[in-house]
Structure 1
């Protein structure tokens, strides 16, 4: 069974090693040093540089439709025989949004609210970036259901860093 693992920047090496992941997604501010684990070939590492903001701000790069499109293209090429690791700086907002988007994209038959509830169960601090989710909702034709599901779980508990968690791609418990 294939899994999507979510973690912070400080835990990518350990998470990749423990899970045997074949792919890595990085969602982080431009210029942040990220050491790609040796087990992940360069062509299986997607690096998306943008700030964790909900509205455009001067001097910052907001999440954009092109970031979601790149994520969707990348996960379409992932063969789920081995896990994928998705991380951002804290493992709370950008990475949890990307994990949610990934499951919604690869398992379109699954209910958005169920996926969001599994994210909340896996991570009390998860606060998926709603701007990313809005773009994905539109691209995937989910008619606002993705946005609604994330709004339903609300803001997670305050934390400096989220605890790593995983989702079964098929959402079997």
Structure 2
């Protein structure tokens, strides 16, 4: 099955047309969305964090709790239907979360192979470095996820990315 990465503006359309079983929302802590029709509320994970990598006064960067929740939620996804991962623009937090979920499902897969597939699928994807670093530590990847994210570099600048599919199994 697949991990669908998209911006907020595509969530309802993708929920309606692709029939995902799970949804991960990574938005600023004060920005909530309703669970789209067709997705059970308990299968919608809402993670409130700002899209920053360093500590900035007044902002909430992703922390270990956010990544632990993502990993726990991802562990409950059986991949019989797609999972949608979105943030505001579909570029940074969502691509990082998709990278984390793909690495989690495939503990022996090459982190570089997964990261370069993200780049191949999206020229805009720029995985949030803080999410990647925390996941690398929590999953004991010994810096390989961090190196892989650095290897694909920053994506093209854009106001909003385009939806893309990342295979779940490698």
TM-score under structure 1 normalisation? 0.96
Q: State the alpha-carbon separation in 1 of the partners of residues 47 and 32 from structure 2.
A: 13
Alpha-carbon shift at residue 35 of structure 1 (Å): 2.6
Determine if the alignment matches structure 1 residue 154 to structure 2 residue 165.
Answer: no
Q: State the alpha-carbon separation in 1 of the partners of residues 36 and 27 from structure 2.
A: 16
The residue aligned with 1:70 is: 69
Q: State the alpha-carbon separation in 1 of the partners of residues 164 and 157 from structure 2.
A: 16
The residue aligned with 2:55 is: 56
Q: Which runs of 5+ in 2 are unaligned?
A: none
Deviations 1:112-162 (A, max 9, x none): 000000000111000000000000001111000000000000000000000
The residue aligned with 2:7 is: 8
Number of residues paired by the alignment? Answer: 170
Q: Which runs of 5+ in 1 are unaligned?
A: none
- DSSP-derived class of the 1:85 partner: strand
| Contact kept? 1:134, 1:147, Cα under 8 Å | yes
- DSSP-derived class of the 2:45 partner: strand
Runs of 4+ in 1 over 6 A off after TM superposition: none
Determine if the alignment matches structure 1 residue 165 to structure 2 residue 164.
Answer: yes
- DSSP-derived class of the 1:4 partner: strand
TM-score under structure 2 normalisation? 0.98
| Contact kept? 1:127, 1:155, Cα under 8 Å | yes
